Structure 1
Amino acid sequence: MTVDRDRDELGRPRNARARDALGRPLPRGAAGIPSLPDGLVLSPAETLAEAQRLLDSGYPFQAHEVLEAAWKSAPVGERELWQGLAQLAVGLTHALRGNTTGAVTLLDRGADRIARYSDGPHDLAVADLLAWARDPRTVSEGRPPPPLRRPSTDGA
């Protein structure tokens, strides 16, 4: 028996099934975590705030989706940065799912990508994120990342 795939309005395949907190598809008809709207475009500050909110709430897969949307809409010079951040979030997702190999691979790839942005555009805490991504306890303990942005120094 063949099951028809979910398709978008252009006929492209998609998976419209609900997902759990770690992005795993749930049985059809089950309630899950709300998904992001297609074509989400946020400013860098809004993206980082939403990704941080999701990470703080224990939703690294959904944070990955927010960061992936930024990667797809970012200017060419920042795409590697946003892709790296998305890989860090999905690396944490794999760690929490118990997929050690996938977690280490994605954390390494993400760290390599964001390391190219040592000046920390958008007040990103690049050094802290690199230390977290390369710490073996991140995978073994599923440690959440440090804040994505450096603390404000302007008193705000």
Structure 2
Amino acid sequence: MTKATKLLTALPAPQRQRLMDLAREVSFAEDARIFEADGTADRFWVIRSGAVSLDQRVTALQRVTVANLGAGDLLGWSWLFPPYRWDFGAEAFSPVRAYEFDAHAVLALCEEEPRLGFLLVRTVAEILAHRLEMTRGQLMDRYAAPRRGVL
């Protein structure tokens, strides 16, 4: 498996600085809901410290964790693709500090600076590809393993 791509370290210094000019520092308490599936995706975060669980609602009362994110990880990618709705929910698993980015401001910057836009989209695509690869591995581990009593 490939190493996870980290958004800020993957961008060259000039583009990273232009993006960071739009950042605002935020924090979330342990167990805080950061966003809900199907909510408006109008921002994203880069986690500085702490842990976040991405989850999917299975029933009205049950959520299943689909991924855990930590320092350096991108939280939220739905802001980049119509219809701009969250695909998952997110909850702080521990106290979290993060850089928050307003999606509209970032998209406007990408329009002004196409090279930054290209690098940002390519990096997000690499992050998503890595997460899909990790999910595929987890599914293989879970469902391909022989079960006792089953031939």
State the TM-score, normalized to the length of structure 1.
Answer: 0.32
State the TM-score, normalized to the length of structure 2.
Answer: 0.32
Name which structure has the greater RCO, CA cutoff 8 Å, separation 6+.
Answer: 2
Q: Larger strand proportion, structure 1 or 2?
A: 2
